[in-house]
Amino acid sequence: MSSRPALARLDDPASDCGPTDAPAVATTPTMPPADGPPDRSARRWWILVVLAATQLLVVLDGTIVSIALPQAQAELGLSDSQRQWVVTAYALAFGALLLLGGRVADYWGRKRTFLLGMVGFGVASLLAGFARDGVELIAARGLQGAFAALLAPAALALLTVSFPSGRERNTAFAVFGAIAGVGAAVGLVLGGALTELADWRWCLWVNVPVVIVAFVAGKLLVAESRAQGDNRYDVLGTIVVVLGLGALVYGLTLAEHSWTAPGTVACLVGGVALLALFVLVESRVAQPLLPLRIVRDRVRAGAFLLQAIVGALMIGALLYLSFHLQVVMGLSPLRAGLGSVPMTLVILVLAPVVTTVLLPRVGPRPLMIAGPLVAAVGLLLLCRVTVGGSYAAEILPSQLVLGVGLALVLVPLQNVALAGVAPHDAGAASATVNAAMQIGGSIGLSVFTTIYAAALPTAAAPTPADLVDGYSAVFVAAAIAMALGAVLAALLIRGPKEKLLPSGDHQAVHLG
C-alpha cells in the first residue's frame, strides 16, 4: 500500500546532532560521525544482513496489519475509528519520536539502543498479537511505533559506522535502501498470506522470531559506538511535540462525530497551541530536537510539507483501497495484498530512471509539480469503483498511474529536502523528512476517516454501495490534497536545479 524509493543523497554525515516511502517509508537517518572503530572484517557483511532485516521489520510493519484489519475488526468488534487507530498509533508514535530516537542512539550508544529497540519491538508485537480488544491492540501498536523510533536510527547509525567510506559503503546503502523500497509491498503480501492461511494475529507474531535472531546476531557481531561531546536531550521539546501531535490527531478523530463538540474543539485548539509552544521551546534550548534553521528555508519547508501530503496518501488514503478490495470486491487477504503490488513495482522500476535521467536533466521542480498531479489523476480514477466492478478495469489502471506519479515526486523530494543542509544538521534534517511522512500519514488518515464517516448514512448499517460512496469520497479528498501539493511545490520549490540538489557523496535511506 505504500512504497518508498530506495535512496536519497545526503550531505556529510559528521553530525553532532542526532537525528528514518514512503512511502516507505522508514527513518531517522541519524547520520552519525564514524567515531566508533570501523569493522574491517568480513563479518560486517553479516552486520548488513542483520541491519537490513531490521529495516525490513520496521518498514513492513507499517503495512502488514493493513490487510489484516477487516478480520481484526470483525473478531475484536472494532469501530471504524478504532480500526483507523491501529494504523495511526504506529505511524504517530514512530514519527513523533524519531528525532529523539536518533539522539538516544548517538548519546546512549548505538548498539545498546539497537538491542533495546529490538527487544521492545518484539515484546510489543507479542502483546499486540494477544490483544483482546481494540484498546489493547492500539496501545501495543503505539508501543511498536515507539520502539521502531529507536530501532530505525540506531540501525542506520550502525550501518554508517560499519561502512564508513568507499564502494562497500555505497553497496551497503544500496542494499539497505532497496529493502526500504520493497518493504511495504512485502508487508502487504505477507500480511495477506498470514491472514488467509493462518490468522490475522500472525501478522504481529511473525516479528518475534526475526527479533530473536536479529538480537542474538546484533549482540555478537556489532561493536558499540556513540557520539562524543556535550550530549543533552531536549526532553521538554519531546513531551510538547508528542502531546501536541497526539491531541491534534485525536481531535480530528473526534471530528468524525462533530466538529463543534467541546471535546473536538478542545483537542484541536490544544494540539495547535502545543505545537506552537514546541516552536517556542526549540528556539530557546541549547540542543533542540529540531533546529528551526532547518525548516526556515523556504525550499526545504516546501519539501517537508509535500512529504507530509504524500504520507497522507500512502499511509492514509490507500488503506481504504485495501478495504474496498476485501470488503466490497470480496478478495481474499492474499489476493488483496497482491492487488496492491503493481503501484510499488512501477515505483521501483521508475525510481532509477528518475534518479539517473530525469532529475539531472530537468531538475527537481518540474518533477515535484508533475508528480502530485499525476498521482491525483490516479486517485480520481479510483473514484470510478463500483460494487460489481472488476480489478482489471477499475483498480489496476489507477495503481499504474499512481506508481508513475509517486516515482516522479518521491525521488526528487528526498533530494530537495536535504539540499544545502549543513553537515551538523544533516541527521536532524533527514529525520524530519521521514517523520513528516509518518506524521502526515497519521493526520491524513484521521481526516480521511472523518470524510469517510460523513459520506455514510447515519441511520442504517452501510450497504456495499454506501461503502463505495465513502471510499470514493476519501479518494477525491486525497486527489485534492495531492493537487494542493503540486501548488505548494510550484510556489515554494524555486531556484536553479544545481541549488536544489545536494552535494557530497554520502547517502541517506528513507525508512519511513
Nearest to 53 by CA among 174, 170, 160, 180: 180
Are the C-beta atoms of 200 and 72 separated by less than 8 Å? yes
**In the structure grid, which three cell numbers stand for residue 126, read together?**
507479542
**How is 8-37 classified by DSSP, letter by letter?**
EEE-----SS------------------SP
Contacts for 242-246: CB closer than 8 Å, 24+ residues apart: 242/96, 242/97, 243/274, 244/270, 244/271, 244/272, 244/273, 244/274, 244/275, 244/277, 244/278, 245/92, 245/95, 245/96, 245/271, 245/275, 245/439, 245/442, 246/92, 246/96, 246/271
Are the C-beta atoms of 100 and 289 separated by less than 8 Å? yes
pLDDT (0 to 100) of residue 165? 67
**In the structure grid, which three cell numbers stand for residue 14, read together?**
559528521
DSSP, collapsed to helix, strand or coil, labels residue 507 as strand
pLDDT (0 to 100) of residue 266? 96
For residues 383 and 238, what is the distance between their CA atoms, to the nearest angstrom?
40
Nearest to 497 by CA among 371, 370, 363: 363
All residues at 6 or more sequence positions from 180 whose CB lies less than 8 Å from its CB, including other chains: 4, 5, 6, 20, 21, 22, 24, 25, 26, 27, 55, 59, 509, 510, 511
DSSP, collapsed to helix, strand or coil, labels residue 267 as helix
Q: What angle do CA 468, 370, 4 make, to 5 degrees?
A: 70
**363 dihedral zone (left: phi>0; alpha: psi -120 to 50; beta):** left
For residues 246 and 96, what is the distance between their CA atoms, to the nearest angstrom?
9
pLDDT (0 to 100) of residue 426? 67
Q: Which residue ranges form the domains of the chain, and what is each CATH number? A: 7-234+285-501 (1.20.1250.20)
Task: Please report, in tens digits, the pLDDT of each residue of the chain (512 residues total).
Answer: 444 433 333 333 334 333 333 333 334 344 444 444 444 567 778 888 888 888 888 888 888 888 899 999 999 999 888 998 999 999 999 999 988 888 888 888 889 999 999 999 999 999 999 999 999 999 999 999 999 999 988 888 888 778 776 677 767 777 776 676 677 778 888 889 999 999 999 999 999 999 999 999 989 888 887 776 667 888 999 999 999 999 999 999 888 888 899 999 999 999 999 999 999 999 998 888 888 888 888 988 999 999 999 989 988 888 899 999 999 999 999 999 898 889 988 988 888 888 888 888 888 999 999 999 999 999 999 998 999 889 999 999 999 999 999 989 988 887 788 777 776 676 677 778 888 888 999 999 999 999 998 998 876 788 999 999 999 999 999 999 999 999 999 999 988 777 777 654 444 444 44
Q: What is the pTM of this model?
A: 0.83
All residues at 6 or more sequence positions from 118 whose CB lies less than 8 Å from its CB, including other chains: 54, 147, 151, 211, 214, 215, 218
